[in-house]
Amino acid sequence: MATTTVRPGLDELVSGIGAIAAQRLGNRESAFAVADLMRDHLPPLDLLTPDERAGSPERYVSHLLHAQDDFSIMAVVWRPGQHTVIHDHISWCTFGILSGIESETLYRDMGDHLVEIGRAENRPGEVSGFAPPGDIHMVRNTSAEVGVSVHVYGADVSKVGSSVRRVYDLPVR
């Protein structure tokens, strides 16, 4: 089993996620179980070094914190206004907000266009999870401060390269 060194402050989260992953639950059940765990074990902002927390002026930055065969933990750092493209994921995902506000816009694929189906404002301390299908979204830091979030994916992103399955460039109607 491939693994990175467990970063200080992640021991309980890594062992708890490992126990959940070993149960081989469905995608939604895994995402929700990990979200419940993260609510009790959301790491502090100083999990990242000051340099890591600074982000990049060009785009949001992801830091791989832990990876093994059945899950990965990443920290995402967003400067104000930075955002993702519209995308979905290769696996279930759970995320917790450490700083900033992640504004999430959800979409449904109608074949030749996308339709917005919802919005959420995720604030520090909040945790949520989702699973494909139906996980098409765009995320933006709408706060005036650097945003940091911790994401857990049900895949080893060190092997697959990214948690993104598909990028959507369809018109939004």
Domain count, the chain: 1
Judge whether 64 lies within some domain: yes
Judge whether 1 lies within some domain: no
Give the chain's count of helices (H) and strands (E): 4, 10
Looking at residue 23, which CATH number applies to its domain? 2.60.120.10
Largest CA distance in the chain: 46
Judge whether 4 lies within some domain: no
pLDDT at 163 over 50: yes
Q: Do 59 and 108 meet the contact criterion of CB atoms below 8 Å apart? A: no
Judge whether 173 lies within some domain: no
Give the domain range for residue 135: 11-167
Judge whether 119 lies within some domain: yes
Residue 90: predicted pLDDT: 86
Query: In which band, very low, low, confident or very high, does the pLDDT at 5 lie, cut at 50, 70 and 90?
Result: low
Judge whether 3 lies within some domain: no
**49-94 per-position pLDDT tens digit:** 999 999 999 999 999 999 999 999 999 999 999 999 999 988 999 9
What φ, ψ does residue 30 adopt, rounded to 5°?
-65, -45
Q: Give the whole-angstrom CA distance, residue 122 versus residue 97.
A: 7
For residue 44, how many C-alpha atoms fall within 13 Å in the half-sphere facing its CB? 5
Q: pLDDT > 70: what percent of the chain?
A: 97
Average pLDDT over residues 31-55: 95
Judge whether 2 lies within some domain: no
Residue 2: predicted pLDDT: 45
Q: What is the pTM of this model?
A: 0.91
Judge whether 161 lies within some domain: yes
